[in-house]
Structure 1
Amino acid sequence: MTGSEVVTEAKAIINEVSKFIVAEREFLEKVVSALLAGGHVLLEDVPGTGKTLTAKLLAKALGVSFKRIQFTPDLLPSDILGTKVWRPGKGEFEFVLGPIFCNLVLADEINRAPPKTQSALLEAMEEGQVTIEGETFKLPQPFFVIATQNPIEFEGVFPLPEAQLDRFMMKLSLGYAKDEKVILRRRLEWKTDDPSMYVQTVTSGENLLKIREYIEKNVKVSDEVIEYISRFTEIRRDSRLLAGPSPRGLVSLLRVSRAMAVLDGRDYVIPDDVKKVAVDVLGHRLVVKPEYQIDGVRGEDIVRDYLRKIPVPK
């Protein structure tokens, strides 16, 4: 694909989804940038803001297979990955694929499942494969996870461990729409609570893989920008933290910045691309000391502090 074709298809995804989800365009750009960069997204917001709808609309616009997994306390890893079932008629075990075998997986309310079940996603998200009873199965490509969780619920939930959070390229929030009259008017126009039937497919999984290949081969990153990204390691020495951003976090920041450059019609990264996504990529990877958590300090706040401190290359 040429550069202009890549930009056109990437923007077409955002434009199509924006017809049906009332959200800031910057939010949709960030979700799509993670998709183009080959990462996964954690959506953290109160109920009813459109997290699940966003995933469904994206799958339809992309023309890829979609499965929704409702995470509950009694969900087992085999309910996600699949299992081997004995077939008496054949006299052999048959592997029954779980819902994770699709292109876009919605892990709804992921923090409602216990750690053992949450960990079933680790290998899938990092390596694009799952191992069941010693046998490895490749997942269809492209493979993309959107997980949701409610930040104000504390009973019957299991907070995601740091290793799981680190697998998510970005953590985002929709927030409430600025003008909810738009939501009400669109609902009357659709005559349904699920407008995904009206979404046009504007690309394909095959084209998405081509876009990722284009980004890897053609989007340039200068030494100055690499130096700028690497300086976020200074966060690790912050006295308010138990742990700072991982190397995977810095690589994710690089990858998303390249995708943001493409969405802006460029084949090179500028510092503004990095600044635009740094909080979303690094904030959830920081482990804040309990005494500062009590005071309301969050990882995102600390990343913002360093965005102000670290000199921006000219």
Structure 2
Amino acid sequence: MPTQIMGVLNVTPDSFSDGGRWFDQSAAIAHGLELRAAGADIIDIGGESTRPGAVRVDEAEELRRVVPVVRELAGAGALISVDTMRARVAAAAIDAGAHIINDVSAGLSDPGMLSVAAETRVPIVLMHWRGYLDRADATFHYDDVVAEVIAELGDRIDVAVSAGVDPADIIVDPGLGFSKNAEHNWQLLAGLHAFTVFPQRLLVAASRKRFIASLVSPEDPGQAGEHEKDEATAVISAFAAQAGAWAVRVHDPAASALACRVAESIADHSGPGPSPWSLR
């Protein structure tokens, strides 16, 4: 199956890359339709920023931001993922037409989330997470980031299955940019093939994150332009597709959709011998 393109729709005033741009509900709905027209197979709608240093919004405000947008876009025929750490928001979004739960805390923030996934039988993304990023300078130690992320995701899969979630409904996400520095993120990308240890689908979410901005503009990551970050993201999307990722979560669906098609075409035409993706 071709790698799916998950388009990012932040209905927030403070997300790291496009906060405020789609905060108005009519603007959010229009942008969701634009993402779909640009090649997004899934629209990932979130009403709470998870950038480092972000302050959590209350549940009522998250519901106000998310549910009407989910309802309108689902009614227009879009496949919707709801990006939330709250069980009640996930349940309300599913009632409004959402098809997938994307929980960056893997059920750790709200233990009721796994029950919602089990009861509704919708797929759930379990992302590697080590806590809230309420401090912008929060750092975490890893001796072997790939092995540790895989082990910790495996633990969350076990907990989800014990809560009644069908293993086939679980999607794993290495959590690029969450409790990880740039070196950790690049190591995880280099080790994506290791995630085939899981029978579950793999989601890769690198789009416009700070480690990309630091590559694009090493002297001042804040000066990295969206176009350059999207170009770098598209390259990562191609590598993710080559590694067998089920989906990539991106702000620019068109660029990543084309990159994934290129990667898949190369893979389809590869003969015996070393992988054409081997750089060394």
TM-score tier by shorter-chain length is under 0.3
TM-score, with structure 1 as normaliser? 0.25
Higher helix share: 1
Larger radius of gyration: 1
- More contact order relative to length (CA 8 Å, sep ≥ 6): 1
TM-score, with structure 2 as normaliser? 0.27
